[in-house]
Structure 1
Amino acid sequence: MTHSCPVPLSVAECFTAAHQAQPVIATCSAAVRNQVLYLLGQQLRENTSAILEANTLDLESSRDLATSPTILAWLRLTHERVKMGGAWLERLLSAPDPLAVSQGMAGHMFPIPIGLVGLVYEGFPLMSLLTASLCLKTGNALIVRPSPETSYTNQALLDLIHTALAKANLPITTIQSLAPEVPLKDITATPSGLNLLIPYGRPSFVWQVQQQTSGQTLPIAIGNNYLFWGTSGQPELVLEMIYRSHQAEPDAVVAIEKVLVPPELNRSLLAWLWDSLGQQGFEIRLGTALKAEFGQFKIVDAEEWQGAYLKKIVAFEAVPNLEAGITWINQYGRGPVCAVASESYRECLTLSQRIRSPQIWLNRPPEFSRLETLSLGISAQAGLYRGLVGLGQLVSHQRLFFA
């Protein structure tokens, strides 16, 4: 299982090798690209034990380095998580060819691979496997820079990918990995650079990557999702929406961490909800408007409203009216989804039309599954790259007109 490419003399040389390999995978037929995915799935099944052993080494090293509990939870692989990776490859294998030419009244549309993709991540080693498979399906090359705590697992997965590429007679430099110690500035400043950089991790990590990148980034958002609880919303529904939104693993992408309520909401309903959440292990925090009435809870610092907890913490605040709630969410809600609990058609319609979150969930718990959506996550940034991050974001389109 040792097919790793030689260690490059420099980051620039690694990029050059990837750029040279990318046209090869881009011009392959759909059958060849699917063959690599099939071989990769085969490698994953045959080497599950080796991957888990490598992951154990990462876990032991990370505990010695006092890695945060959040990253440790993301890092830990199980048989179930590895099986999810295999199921992902099977679904991707059967997905339509993203490079298939389509014909319309305005001409032929030619999907074009975007070229060289970069992935900078922390904590979740399967992210490299999922991203590599998307790149292989779309004819792109990939360079990964993992975080230090994933070194062994990332290398084990890279070996599987290189084995699959070698068996398909494709250049293994199509998918490469840099050392975790490579500075971000060395990646983003490379002359023969990236066409797209995908940062994944805690919001502070993603922000750091974006600050050092002048090119196109596609950040994956996690946490800091808001819920607007209207006066007609049922407390049992709100409880279910909050609880279920925190159940995804390893990262609760759509976790509701902030709740806004109107001032006239029955306070006994709030007390019931807080008690119910407390029994489920949640910590409750209050904004200044509610803290004045309920002094037993910790107050929310101002900067917390626009940051993710990534823990079982939910902050509540009362807003004067619906308009104030919309303004608040659009100003501070940096998460990929917004939820609404209300039986008022007007409230639901107004919020769905004016909230700028990529996804709005009305009276149902927000959910996200990488396997079901074949996406790496959800991007909350404004503009072209927004919403689910999947096959569609890794191709561009060229229109060809005939005489």
Structure 2
Amino acid sequence: MTRVVVTGLGVKSPAGNTVRDAFATVLAGKSLATVIPALAVEETPVSIGCPLAPFEPLDYFTGRELRTLDRTSQIGLAAAADAVTDAGGLPAEEGRGVYVGTGGGGFAALESLIVGHTLGREKVPVHAVPTLMSSSTAARIAIRYGCRGPCLTFNTACASGATAIGEALRAIRSGVVGSAVAGGLDALLSPLAMCAFARVGALSERMDSPAEACRPFDEERDGFVMGEGAAFLVMERADLAEARGARVYGEVSGYAANCDANHIVAPLRDGSVAADCMRAALLDAGLTPGDVGHVNAHGTSTPHNDSAEAIALHDCFGGSTPPVTSTKGVTGHLVGGAGALEAVIALLSARRGLVPPTANFTGGPAAELVDIVHGEPRSIAAAPVLSNSFGFGGSNACLVLTPA
């Protein structure tokens, strides 16, 4: 089977805007949730979140470019640019693809446009259409780097980023492209988005203690904390990377996707389909559960999702799981960017032999089913890692990453 390696990484996240900073912050295991002043002013039902670390768009774009880019595209393009720079560029061959995952697309831009439209039709900007296109970020990445292979955008809700990486893996394996820029992004800390997620009961309501609000797998969890950010990987055939002397972080060695087909926002309680997805990803990688060194769980901090995932992990690993962590305890939930950021953190964790602690975990029934890492990082031997992403609509995507 064609080996697909990772040669570049780029992140824009609440934990930091470089790969080094983001990984160090996640290893520290402290939640970054805080009150968002703009949301508090709007009196949204939930006004806490995990905003992006300080970011200067002018480091990446001209003032003229910025007028045509919403925040989602800004952070996505910047993360992709960092990944390409980190990879030392893309292979010279023409088969280069772009694979992007987003759950919200131009949602925040649409909200802004609606508000402007109420002030008069003349307020609608000339660049409204490309700004609102959910495929805009993928197209702009392709234009910037001359990627003339498939340029695809995936929306599988909270699994979008992982789906994009997995589909890039399949495209490279099948010979459709030799390399790809793949990842995910979202920026949904806007009043309308936060009201919508609050109405569906997905968000934690711990407004008085935001740093304690996101607590994956903990018995006192009451919902997730919204975050914003993007992460991208440069993926390429191993022979192309070797030929150009590229530095290799590891491999994307397995991928699977399926659907609970159960409920539009609730996971299947017994976790059976999610467990099937994990097993299929391991089979795709040519591995068994016993080969896995640790799991970066979806771990949203919502009551039903964490319970179902814990059951699924217990099932997949035959009652004895490897160490399990959830990055969302620190960063909040990046929606379309979550699976991509977690793939980056998972691969770095496997390379370093350190599993980050799950923020705010104190105990509960999940600990009887899975081995939750908490308190401090745990040292492990270098081994493949399973990264889970489960989205609304029952969309499941699992990635297996193997350190170099």
User: What is the TM-score normalised by the length of structure 1?
Assistant: 0.28
Q: Which has the higher helix share?
A: 1
Greater CA radius of gyration, 1 or 2? 1
Higher relative contact order (CA 8 A, sep 6+): 2
